[in-house]
Amino acid sequence: MKIQIDPHTLARAEERGTNENEIRDVIDTGFAIPAKYGRIAKAKVYEFKEKRQGKYHEQKRVEVVYMIEKNAVITITVYVFYGKWEGQK
């Protein structure tokens, strides 16, 4: 299925610390999470082991919200959380 990444999603990705490759990876291999308004969402935890905004983080969790329209995935937005998650990859 074709993945169409909305410009809004790419702008939020840059601000929040992820990129187009990770967005596509989350859609392809992430795990399902709840989403509102009939949308679909997936998440994936990545090893990070870097500083962001002056604080060190072991991992980051990337969450992508999207919808499916005419055999295409169309992204709505992306969220990135920093911390440590057990048992989620």
Residues of the chain with pLDDT under 50: none
How do residues 1-22 score in pLDDT, each as one tens digit?
A: 899 999 999 999 999 999 999 9
pLDDT at 84: 93
Whether 13 and 78 have beta carbons less than 8 Å apart is answered as yes
Residue 45 CB-density burial (10 A; 0-12 exposed, 13-18 middle, 19+ buried): buried
**Residue 1 token pair:** 């299925």
pLDDT at 28: 97
**Residue 43 token pair:** 């998440």
pLDDT at 89: 58
pLDDT at 88: 61
pLDDT at 9: 97
64 C-beta neighbours (distance < 10 Å), count: 29
> If residue 15 lies in a helix (H) or strand (E), which one and from where to where?
helix 7-16
pTM for the structure as a whole = 0.93
